[in-house]
Structure 1
Amino acid sequence: MATIALPRPVPRYRSSSPIPTLTHSINLDGINTSAACPIPIPNKHLPVCPPGPAPSDKPDTPPASPPTKHLKLQPQSLLYPPTNYKKVTHNSSAVYLIDAAGVAAAVNHISQQPLPEAGQVFPWLHGLHPANHVQQAFFVARRKALRKTPECYRGVTIVKADGNLSCSRLKSAVTTDEFMQTAMAEFKDIDPREGFSVRNFQIQSAKTAMLSDIIVYGEDADEVLRVGSDIAKAQRSRRQGLKALGHEVPVYHTFVCTSHFEEFEEHHPEIVVLDTRGELTGNVLDFFHQERVEMATMTKASEIARNVWLGPTDDLSMSGPSPDDEPFDLFIECSDLGRANVPALKNIVRELDSGAETSQYVEFPSSGSIMPPSWPLTEADDIVESCKWIYNLANGIRPSEDEGEITDIEGDSPMSSPIETRTSRPRKILIYCTDGYTESSMLALAYYMYAHGVTVSEAWLQMHIDKRRNFFAYPSDVALLNSIAPSILSNSPALAHTAPQDVTQRIHDEPAWLALMDGSLPSRILDYMYLGNLGHANNPDLLRAMGIGQLLSVGETAAWTAADIAAWGDENVCVVQGVQDNGVDPLTNEFDRCLAFISMSPYPPSTPSTKLTPPPFRPRPPQWHINPSPLPRRRLAQRHNLHRRSNARAVPLLPTRILLRARAPPQRHHPAASALQLRAAEVGGDDAGEARGAGEEGVGMGRDCERDCGDE
């Protein structure tokens, strides 16, 4: 695809008076000849000129207006000038007194002010240290001028004097450690001295504090006044230092709050993040907490087959267990150190059948840990055998006497006893890993194929769309499952009455998009929107199978053939060119066009092409209560930093789905549930963050950096 035009219908224009028909046509051949006649201009468009000669001391035309991009936005703040606040002096530094109402008004006012143009504050906000020649060379060469301290922005920084942000925290409050050298009462020299980065998020609080009036609050009035005077001293010192270099900067002030925190809770709860007990009020969005909540919600345990659940290691700080939850009988933890242990599963069957009340645990290899062509035949067979024993436990099936032979840890077989029955109580099983969608994906997909009798491609689509399950898999998982698919399906109880040649034919008829898939799917961001990478965009058949009907590509163009473009439709593709993930190119100018494209609905609701398969041939007993129960604390996984793998995505809610693809660093995979009839757009990721395996939705190639496409 080179240039894609997106036609838009021209709205009908209605006028109270008829529009006259033009009777003259323009002849391009005689446009430059003396016989050419000018087109008459209606008099109402001519300016009215007073009689008499034109004044000689004034220009005939007014001067041109300066370009908008050069106009400086005049910052507005209720704190400047500080004429409405009482000024006090402490330790030779002037500060101003403000109450809770004044703080709330200043915060609410600044949040409603327009942001300055990106070119007026960047690359200064990126951090341009004089000694960092790499950073300087990149940005200065592009801007052709050295960046000075911006004067177009005047913010408000809120500081808690005691530095304890675990309670009594106001909106956007920070500590002095983020921007002050408290020992010397000076601002930190926060710009990185070496290296190159356009994502120096860690310095943004310190950078914006230098462009802000600062409010200090706390319960200890003396400490608040002391911290406020130190900040005022730092502001004065920085201003004098820049003035000595010939740089005039605005004067910023420090304010100390005289109100107790209870007054904020009672009269201004809209800016209170944590109350005095350290509990979230819910009045202010806390992004760190919200990220954990979204990830926990997105990956919470759900049933993928009868009595078999897939979920994360429960973080008990997120939500407590429900007294109505039915406990799991077997926990299968997937990790890099796990190994398939069929004898252990057989022993667990014996223990559960003997009346054991405690939950049992077993380990299993994680996704991506079995690399081709290194997997031995025995390990592949163990995967199929593990699926078989999990199925037996979940469905209450007792193996026959020869199948049920139990071995001890050394492989010895005890004396067998006659088995009187081939049925037992169905057991509830949880397949889990730390984040609930990465390490456990290979086993979950293999078991889904076994339990439902579906092929590899059907397992991927049905798990994601029908079961609304978010997961991430690696290219090695695709290769492994393709290689053992004949063994899985030939042993599947769901295909017990299917002819072997029919099973072979189903495997042979796998769609072409499977060979192009790296294991990852685009990530659901919303019910109608996915986030993907260039690899997803270059697999249009996969997108169609997922019900995605539109593509929004940022920074790069998918390598489609003319037939692909014709089948997809030019009106369903929007390409944003000239925007790279370099910290310089702005995307804001493209927002309106992108949003207009996303809001389009040219096609009726699309239905993903998952294949329906018949239910297992064994009758189902009454359903159990299916609420997931938390893991015992002793089995909590070692890694609790869920946000480490965050990179959420989402899916359908409109008539057709949209896949968004942008140029951004690949990351972990975090899909969010999706519906069947929606539209999705695509935005890919950039090329940063390579890791082991192929990058999933926007992830480069790597286990920790890649589990997401763009971000998923």
Structure 2
Amino acid sequence: MATIALPRPLPRYRSSSPIPTLSTHSINLEGINTSAACPIPIPNKHLPVCPPGPVPSEKPDTPPASPPTKHVKLQPQSLLYPPTNYKKVTHNSSAVYLIDAAGVAAAVNHISEQPLPEASQVFPWLHGLHPANHVQQAFFVARRKALRKTPECYRGVTIVKADGNLSCSRLKAAVSTEEFLQTATAEFKDIDPREGFSVRNFQIQAAKTAMLSDIIVYGEDEKQVIKIGSDIARAQRVRRQGLKALGHEAPVYHTFVCTSHFEEFEEHHPEIVVADSRGEMTGNVLDFFHQERVEMATMTKASEIARNVWLGPTDDLSMSVPSPEDEPFDLFIECSDLGRANVPALKNIARELDSGAETSQYVEFPSSGSIMPPSWPLTEADDIVESCKWIYNLANGIRPSDDEEVTDIEGDSPMPSPTEARTSRPRKILIYCTDGYTESSMLALAYYMYAHGVTVSEAYLQMHIDKRRNFFSYPSDVALLNSIAPSILSNSPALAHSAPQDITQRIHDEPAWLSLMDGSLPSRILDYMYLGNLGHANNPDLLRAMGIGQLLSVGETAAWTAADIASWGDENVCVVQGVQDNGVDPLTNEFDRCLAFINRGRLAGTSTLVHCRVGVSRSATICIAEVMRAQSLSYPRAYCFVRARRLNVIIQPHLRFSYELLKWEEMMQVRRGEGVKRELEWGEIAREIAAMNKPYSR
């Protein structure tokens, strides 16, 4: 798809990464203080555009206009309602209730065990339906005014830190008053967007659920806590009066002020402490930023792709102490937008290492996607081949008889001789980039072709399948590698005894799927499940070459020929129809059928490609649901798991799909014979997703 395959523009400036100290041992992430590390966005990712489809017709799953049923009105139970067990005090004519640390912890734990209302009962209200936003109103509710009403079936618990500083002394799901309260007038903010259309208003969910919650205020300054508590109580009263004036029923919500100091939470209730009083992350509450990096580190851990040549990420995460058997890397090759191929530098490094240099050496190389056709100069293409040659020499302990560059009469390097003496110690080399799967892909593929004597298509498949590397490349990388394949293979030591015409024939016989590929392979989420776009689905030969034998189409249909369908078999194709990415169409009722189809493929020893149009919303929702089922993960953990493995393309299940997945978490727990116990609440999940996506929003 075009949204995924666009060449990556080069930034004006980006500082190079420091020389890493990465080794081959396991990664320890326990010590990361995400309060400092999290704001840094992961490079190369982008948010694709997801078309919502046509304006939806009336759906049977939307709540009836009137009369509302008892089921719709039913609220989850809460320890805070009614507040008969708490002391009531009045401040500035507003009633608040006193609660201690034990009461706060009990209320937070109890609300996580209460089933949430069905998605149809809280949507489209959660999308944001500002009266002045005619586009949003027309799309979601048209003439059905009942859908604009505030849900009466939701009762949550919102935690507010009085001083608004969430970098320390932070409780689970805590927010600041700035996120939902007009402090000057002590009224709830009019948070719904006044213009534009979106089914991904994650940034307003914490504020919207605060309006449907009993609210607890905590902090060290008692006067500040009681003042903010009374302001919030006033805002609740004003909002309730406003809803009644419109003829809407308005549940009563209350405000509580915590009388305990934060140290009591740290000592007796650490399970709800996110950051301690020193600002250190406790690890007791899931942090999305940290979890995404855990998943990325697991996925991109350095591994060997050829003898003594490893591929991995920049060491920007804390590392465990290396074991005695770990050998350090002798040479680090950083691939970046600012890098340039530097063959003389590689030659000098070879001399220095042979001269007994004890420190690791460092060299740069161009990033994937940075060399664009047809602008690449022949010298740059030649430098790629020469770089592969010298990397191979270093990794295999080969020292050519003459350090000076030797060329034949046509200016090409001579074929390698199998009799060259191994006169130096083989060196351990790491090819790396920041994320471990994007900027280094072009060099890794080129070197793999050179070292193993394989074609472009074989390098893609073997790197992914045999070497178990997840990587992302651009269409320009495919074009570049195809262009220099004759030179790479003609100089490959693995093909030293092959006839030139045989090499030419192998290149000529490249499969047709290579020319149809947009640069990237489908994303491997689990060994038996891939996530991709419509372009991947329309390349059945590629899927078959990757060991994918089933196709699950969610809301979109692949343009296969009758011959394609016949060769795959009707039983290996499953289509979910009538689901647009519009924030209205439900997907939960398709989960069981889709996951059964995926599991059928797993039991048959094959993989399934799950796709929609772009591969980030409808199909990503199905993949998250399967990860939750197969690995017994909560929705937040499964979301981070899939997000990391979709590589450069950021998954974007819209609000309703995300809420349905949170309900799916409850359903999975019930099916496993467990009680309902959400790891995080809806407002906090949406808030974290909004924060993760903000650096990439256009």
Q: Same fold (TM over 0.5)?
A: yes
Give the distance between the partners of 1:142 and 1:602, measured in 2 at CA: 46
Give the distance between the partners of 2:394 and 2:101, measured in 1 at CA: 62
Give the distance between the partners of 2:406 and 2:313, measured in 1 at CA: 33
TM score, norm. by length of structure 1: 0.71
Q: Which residue of structure 2 lines up, in the alignment, with residue 180 of structure 1? A: 181
Q: Choose 592-601 or 440-449, whichever is displaced more.
A: 592-601
The runs of 5 or more residues in structure 1 that have no matched partner are 1-65, 407-419, 606-655, 673-678, 680-694, 701-712
* 1:40-64 Cα shifts (integer Å, max 9, x gaps): xxxxxxxxxxxxxxxxxxxxxxxxx
* 1:371-406 Cα shifts (integer Å, max 9, x gaps): 222222222111111100111111121122164589
Structure 1 segment 555-704 matched on structure 2, within 5 A:
555-601=555-601, 604-605=604-605, 656-664=606-614
Residues 580, 698 of structure 1: CA spacing in aligned structure 2 closer, same or farther, 3 A cutoff?
farther
The structure richer in helix per residue is 2
1:379 matches 2:367: no
Q: Is the 8 A contact 1:666 1:696 kept in 2?
A: no
Give the distance between the partners of 1:453 and 1:699, measured in 2 at CA: 36
Q: Note the C-alpha offset of 1:699.
A: 9.0
Report the AA paired with residue 389 of structure 1: W
* 1:516-549 Cα shifts (integer Å, max 9, x gaps): 2112111122232211111111112222222222
Give the distance between the partners of 2:498 and 2:611, measured in 1 at CA: 41
* 1:432-482 Cα shifts (integer Å, max 9, x gaps): 222111111101100011011111111111111111111100111111111
Q: State the secondary structure of the residue aligned to 1:232.
A: helix
Q: Is the 8 A contact 2:217 2:225 kept in 1?
A: yes
* 1:531-568 Cα shifts (integer Å, max 9, x gaps): 11111111122222222222222110111122222222
Q: Note the C-alpha offset of 1:142.
A: 7.9
Structure 1 segment 157-196 matched on structure 2, within 5 A:
157-196=158-197
Q: Which residue of structure 1 lines up, in the alignment, with residue 209 of structure 2? A: 208
* 1:622-654 Cα shifts (integer Å, max 9, x gaps): xxxxxxxxxxxxxxxxxxxxxxxxxxxxxxxxx
CA RMSD of aligned residues (A): 3.0
1:480 matches 2:430: no
Q: Is the 8 A contact 2:472 2:648 kept in 1?
A: yes
Structure 1 segment 72-221 matched on structure 2, within 5 A:
72-76=72-76, 77-141=78-142, 147-221=148-222
Q: Is the 8 A contact 2:302 2:311 kept in 1?
A: yes
Give the distance between the partners of 2:648 and 2:477, measured in 1 at CA: 12
Q: Which residue of structure 2 lines up, in the alignment, with residue 52 of structure 1? A: none
Q: Is the 8 A contact 2:125 2:147 kept in 1?
A: no
Give the distance between the partners of 1:699 and 1:78, measured in 2 at CA: 36
Q: Note the C-alpha offset of 1:202.
A: 0.8
Q: Is the 8 A contact 1:533 1:697 kept in 2?
A: no
Q: Is the 8 A contact 1:127 1:191 kept in 2?
A: yes
Residues 493, 327 of structure 1: CA spacing in aligned structure 2 closer, same or farther, 3 A cutoff?
same
The runs of 5 or more residues in structure 2 that have no matched partner are 1-65, 408-419, 624-629, 631-646, 653-698
Q: Which residue of structure 1 lines up, in the alignment, with residue 680 of structure 2? A: none
Residues 236, 176 of structure 1: CA spacing in aligned structure 2 closer, same or farther, 3 A cutoff?
same
Q: Which residue of structure 1 lines up, in the alignment, with residue 678 of structure 2? A: none
Residues 252, 696 of structure 1: CA spacing in aligned structure 2 closer, same or farther, 3 A cutoff?
closer
Q: Which residue of structure 2 lines up, in the alignment, with residue 512 of structure 1? A: 512
Residues 135, 321 of structure 1: CA spacing in aligned structure 2 closer, same or farther, 3 A cutoff?
farther
Residues 528, 261 of structure 1: CA spacing in aligned structure 2 closer, same or farther, 3 A cutoff?
farther
Report the AA paired with residue 193 of structure 1: R
Q: State the secondary structure of the residue aligned to 1:596.
A: helix
Q: Which residue of structure 2 lines up, in the alignment, with residue 436 of structure 1? A: 436
User: How many equivalent pairs are there?
Assistant: 547
Give the distance between the partners of 2:550 and 2:116, measured in 1 at CA: 31
Q: Which residue of structure 1 lines up, in the alignment, with residue 250 of structure 2? A: 249
Q: Is the 8 A contact 1:270 1:283 kept in 2?
A: yes
Q: Which residue of structure 2 lines up, in the alignment, with residue 392 of structure 1? A: 393
Give the distance between the partners of 1:311 and 1:506, measured in 2 at CA: 30
Give the distance between the partners of 1:603 and 1:116, measured in 2 at CA: 35
Q: Is the 8 A contact 1:346 1:404 kept in 2?
A: no
Q: Which residue of structure 1 lines up, in the alignment, with residue 369 of structure 2? A: 368
Q: Which residue of structure 2 lines up, in the alignment, with residue 455 of structure 1? A: 455
Give the distance between the partners of 2:547 and 2:273, measured in 1 at CA: 42
Give the distance between the partners of 1:228 and 1:130, measured in 2 at CA: 29
Report the AA paired with residue 557 of structure 2: T
Residues 589, 422 of structure 1: CA spacing in aligned structure 2 closer, same or farther, 3 A cutoff?
closer
Q: Choose 539-548 or 262-271, whichever is displaced more.
A: 262-271
Q: Note the C-alpha offset of 1:144.
A: 6.5
Give the distance between the partners of 1:550 and 1:509, measured in 2 at CA: 26
Q: State the secondary structure of the residue aligned to 1:494.
A: helix
Q: Which residue of structure 1 lines up, in the alignment, with residue 46 of structure 2? A: none
Residues 562, 146 of structure 1: CA spacing in aligned structure 2 closer, same or farther, 3 A cutoff?
same
Report the AA paired with residue 523 of structure 2: S
Q: Note the C-alpha offset of 1:267.
A: 4.1
Q: Note the C-alpha offset of 1:358.
A: 3.1
Q: Note the C-alpha offset of 1:664.
A: 4.8
Q: Note the C-alpha offset of 1:697.
A: 7.1
Give the distance between the partners of 2:125 and 2:82, measured in 1 at CA: 25
Q: Is the 8 A contact 1:456 1:481 kept in 2?
A: yes
Q: Choose 481-490 or 243-252, whichever is displaced more.
A: 243-252
Q: State the secondary structure of the residue aligned to 2:148.
A: coil
Report the AA paired with residue 211 of structure 1: L
1:261 matches 2:211: no
Residues 124, 364 of structure 1: CA spacing in aligned structure 2 closer, same or farther, 3 A cutoff?
same
Q: Which residue of structure 1 lines up, in the alignment, with residue 30 of structure 2? A: none
Report the AA paired with residue 289 of structure 1: H
* 1:248-289 Cα shifts (integer Å, max 9, x gaps): 321111112223334434444433333444444443322221
Q: Is the 8 A contact 1:96 1:255 kept in 2?
A: yes
TM score, norm. by length of structure 2: 0.73
Q: Note the C-alpha offset of 1:315.
A: 1.3
Report the AA paired with residue 313 of structure 2: P
Q: State the secondary structure of the residue aligned to 2:214.
A: strand
Give the distance between the partners of 1:189 and 1:482, measured in 2 at CA: 56
Q: Which residue of structure 1 lines up, in the alignment, with residue 14 of structure 2? A: none
Higher relative contact order (CA 8 A, sep 6+): 2
Q: Is the 8 A contact 2:314 2:435 kept in 1?
A: yes
Give the distance between the partners of 1:214 and 1:699, measured in 2 at CA: 32
Q: State the secondary structure of the residue aligned to 2:206.
A: helix
Residues 68, 327 of structure 1: CA spacing in aligned structure 2 closer, same or farther, 3 A cutoff?
farther
Report the AA paired with residue 294 of structure 1: E
Give the distance between the partners of 1:93 and 1:349, measured in 2 at CA: 77
Report the AA paired with residue 160 of structure 1: K
Q: Which residue of structure 1 lines up, in the alignment, with residue 467 of structure 2? A: 467
Matched residues, percent identical?
86
Q: State the secondary structure of the residue aligned to 1:368.
A: coil
Q: Note the C-alpha offset of 1:356.
A: 2.8
Q: Note the C-alpha offset of 1:163.
A: 2.3
Q: State the secondary structure of the residue aligned to 1:72.
A: helix
Residues 395, 525 of structure 1: CA spacing in aligned structure 2 closer, same or farther, 3 A cutoff?
same
Structure 1 segment 267-346 matched on structure 2, within 5 A:
267-316=268-317, 318-319=318-319, 322=322, 324=324, 326-346=327-347
Q: Note the C-alpha offset of 1:500.
A: 2.4
Q: State the secondary structure of the residue aligned to 1:327.
A: coil
Residues 402, 104 of structure 1: CA spacing in aligned structure 2 closer, same or farther, 3 A cutoff?
closer
Q: Note the C-alpha offset of 1:657.
A: 1.6
Q: Which residue of structure 2 lines up, in the alignment, with residue 25 of structure 1? A: none
Give the distance between the partners of 2:125 and 2:68, measured in 1 at CA: 21
